[in-house]
Structure 1
């Protein structure tokens, strides 16, 4: 982990973009007001710049990191993670018992917890949340919204592995499944499966989703009334600008120095760095590799997360001839992953051979590999009758992700490799929010695309099961062999599971639904006076432990 020296450096600079200047000026004003104003007022506001705004304040309908960054301050799940790790730990459930057949989970709840609206967090509330997910219909049940529930539980209604929930008493909730979910305990640490106030969800129509599958509209609850049990409460969302939270005075644990949080949006990485140097923000994520040395030298604190992620080139097999394995193999041989990593990704990036990082159990040394070989790529295209191949290439703009710090640069490098073997590429860039994810996961009209994944917890299924556990619009294939290999591994006896996941990874790379590219090292930076930032490989970073020095 990289830590800069803790010394204050005055580095005011002009913000290049006028929009960023106006925005950070507004945020600085909010911080002054939040701390009571005046030079002697104790600092109590933490301003953090994200590269995009949340897609929703209702984490059940989100799958992106910016939404979850905010959600983790507001909401808590039955299960959390051990600080600084990806391992499951008690949170709202202080303990649990699991039946021998893996179908019954008895959760023993922390006593005396209330939601931000003053209603009790109890077993009835737990069951209301589980029933909510199960009962989704219409747009709410679409995979573009209830992405994680489908990934973990199989989907709502008759597709779900969830059967029922019973509140045997106020502090005990018994969840019954109709089929085992071996990773259910770590999965419950997902922000998407957080506990939310049943009263607030009902009052503000949490499930009254309007619009279309590729352009859903936020509910009143998802825009302005998120209600959890966490250390911070929602105050305001200025769309396109910022989300403001305040400390939950009734929170059961201590809240250190941060009494107010402002999540501001600065899409451009250079503008984020300049805002930090100017003192307008206290930190930002996804530091550009070229900025690391200068920030470290200037005295800012740099924190590296472990590379618990995968960047990939997705391939939509609903678009011919991408359904031809020879064409997919040609694409894989055409891409110079080593050059891509060295030219566009942070130092320490690991080139990927499969859809899990090397640190995850089930990683296989025996997967089929597709070395950089332009001549082989040309031969495969000729064999497939696709010598004049034209492809749409979707990639996001106005965003940086832990696995994808500069999407445009990655696109340029890969498209140049593809054009070298005779493939004509048509660029289709789209803003990350709100359109890109909706295009890729909500419909079939896309070709090859850049996307990735930061692991939510330390379980192989969270990677390959989320990607390929069932048919989806992102990948557009229905191969029972791949699905069965993943399911077999998921349900294998514990002592056999690692080998089964290795076999599943080998089957996936034989089928080659897409091309895993790399596992980058994401770097976060905070101001020199910020201490105790809770860096986490799964981004479980809640700000109530931060102090100002």
Structure 2
């Protein structure tokens, strides 16, 4: 899954139903006990077509979780539980998993959700190798409908964390998807979730309406609009003015509105790590000593304390503290500018400019300021950095379509599966690019999937130690996620970073 950022980059789900008139959200400070419309300030939108089979972006997941169901689902605290599946079990070596599918779920067109639809969804992802979901399902071989409304998943290698993968796969109806194809389904998708699609205007908004026939707990909101607002100031102003009801804001904005009567702040540690990627084959970066010097020169503490107002945690691992694979005993990063200068001298670095690519808005709050801070850090040891800011969409395409990065780049990965497999497979298994992929890293990625518990964490530790030694990717920090919220809105942020709206409501008790 692409980062927030996935991630982890980021899709949409749409379903054509009759048009409706959207009731504007009530201005902040008014009586919203009877409000039925919610407006979310979305940081970005999916880069690709809004098809859950091919898109795995965080922006897309926000939409998909409103309109589709998954086999399992994390709760707000990151604890996994049943959704379309009522239970699951595995064989002795974790290569086969059997999920029992509930028998009372229906798609929005009235068709029942069958085990064959679940199997089709997973097999279709497998048949779409360039899609985002396929990149974190390398271990998946095939799915087949079994007896008693079950689905049997066959894996090509042991994988103890398979249930976490199922939390990110939205189930589509085989008959509709087969008839329409990817592009057609993106224009008129059918899900089984608590909301159905109404309309989507790229660059503007994605609108859903309540599903009165939902099999589970029915939503109280009649309509939800995900409005794309890339600028953090505009998002905060939107909540203050009442044009938005909830929106992610930058860390340095929190103090200004704490105690406000028109905005309530909800914060929690995120599940993502912001990091520097590097094209280890480009110019001076081809020399490991230059890459090591970069890692030693960055003042992570200053970034966290000054730029991010302390609302982040220094993190040189590539998974966050609340994500599977994190090692609480992993050594903290060290800044050593003297050693950095020695390495640069030994490498014969002569000041050749190194491009630094980053998005000027979108998934990483204060990205421009962070880039400038890192540029200043590197200048202290004699490294010349050329800043190359661009829009989020162009930056994401550079990373996720494997177009060559020209130097270093700023990125983030927040796996919605709450497990480290997706980010490390993407970074060190060659799914994004080959810059951080070595035979050794590939072998360690494969090894993480065969063990569980502390043994798995130990392998992650070995992988991150190798990454640090080779200076392939540079972990920077795990940010807190802070949201500006209408004071009358009942909504809490989730550990996986998604803005889910199925249980949101207006009217404080």
TM-score by length of 2: 0.88
8 Å Cα contact 2:275/2:476 also seen in 1: yes
Which residue pairs with 1:54 in the alignment?
46
The one of 390, 411, 425 aligned to 1:430: 390
Which residue pairs with 1:16 in the alignment?
none
What's the secondary structure of 1:545's corresponding residue? coil
The one of 141, 144, 149 aligned to 1:166: 144
- Structure 1 pair 337/431, CA: closer, same or farther in 2 (3 Å)? same
The one of 342, 347, 353 aligned to 2:310: 347
Instruction: Using the TM superposition, give the Cα deviation of residue 519 of structure 1 relative to its aligned residue in structure 2, in angstroms.
Output: 0.8
User: Structure 1 residue 126 and structure 2 residue 126: aligned?
Assistant: no
Question: Separation in 2 of the partners of 1:505 and 1:462?
Answer: 15
Equivalent residue runs for 1:437-516 within 5 Å = 437-442=396-401, 443-468=403-428, 470-474=429-433, 476-492=435-451, 494=453, 496-516=455-475
User: Structure 1 residue 182 and structure 2 residue 160: aligned?
Assistant: yes
Matched pairs, number: 481
Question: Separation in 1 of the partners of 2:342 and 2:205?
Answer: 51
Question: Separation in 2 of the partners of 1:316 and 1:115?
Answer: 45
Question: Separation in 1 of the partners of 2:225 and 2:118?
Answer: 29
Which residue pairs with 2:135 in the alignment?
150
- Structure 1 pair 169/472, CA: closer, same or farther in 2 (3 Å)? closer
Q: Relative to structure 2, which stretch is displaced further, 48-57 or 369-378?
A: 369-378
Question: Separation in 2 of the partners of 1:276 and 1:369?
Answer: 37
The one of 356, 361, 365 aligned to 1:405: 365
- Structure 1 pair 40/349, CA: closer, same or farther in 2 (3 Å)? closer
8 Å Cα contact 1:330/1:381 also seen in 2: yes
8 Å Cα contact 1:308/1:454 also seen in 2: yes
Question: Separation in 2 of the partners of 1:31 and 1:179?
Answer: 50
Please tell me the root mean square deviation across aligned C-alpha atoms, in Å.
Answer: 2.4
Question: Separation in 2 of the partners of 1:268 and 1:502?
Answer: 37
- Structure 1 pair 148/510, CA: closer, same or farther in 2 (3 Å)? farther
Which residue pairs with 2:65 in the alignment?
72
8 Å Cα contact 1:54/1:67 also seen in 2: yes
Which residue pairs with 1:420 in the alignment?
380
What's the secondary structure of 1:321's corresponding residue? helix
Q: Relative to structure 2, which stretch is displaced further, 359-368 or 104-113?
A: 359-368
Instruction: Using the TM superposition, give the Cα deviation of residue 184 of structure 1 relative to its aligned residue in structure 2, in angstroms.
Output: 1.1
Which residue pairs with 2:503 in the alignment?
545
Alpha-carbon deviations, 1:236-260, whole Å to 9, x = none? Answer: 1111111110011210123343110
Question: Separation in 2 of the partners of 1:389 and 1:368?
Answer: 32
Instruction: Using the TM superposition, give the Cα deviation of residue 457 of structure 1 relative to its aligned residue in structure 2, in angstroms.
Output: 3.3
Which residue pairs with 1:211 in the alignment?
none
- Structure 1 pair 105/473, CA: closer, same or farther in 2 (3 Å)? closer
Long gaps (5+) in structure 2: 1-20
Long gaps (5+) in structure 1: 1-28, 155-160, 207-218
TM-score by length of 1: 0.82
Instruction: Using the TM superposition, give the Cα deviation of residue 495 of structure 1 relative to its aligned residue in structure 2, in angstroms.
Output: 5.4
Instruction: Using the TM superposition, give the Cα deviation of residue 420 of structure 1 relative to its aligned residue in structure 2, in angstroms.
Output: 2.5
Alpha-carbon deviations, 1:26-70, whole Å to 9, x = none? Answer: xxx932499xxxx99942100111122233422332233222111
Instruction: Using the TM superposition, give the Cα deviation of residue 398 of structure 1 relative to its aligned residue in structure 2, in angstroms.
Output: 3.1
Which residue pairs with 2:7 in the alignment?
none
User: Structure 1 residue 259 and structure 2 residue 259: aligned?
Assistant: no
Question: Separation in 2 of the partners of 1:97 and 1:236?
Answer: 39
The one of 74, 81, 85 aligned to 1:89: 81
Question: Separation in 1 of the partners of 2:270 and 2:452?
Answer: 28
Question: Separation in 2 of the partners of 1:365 and 1:48?
Answer: 34
Instruction: Using the TM superposition, give the Cα deviation of residue 482 of structure 1 relative to its aligned residue in structure 2, in angstroms.
Output: 1.9
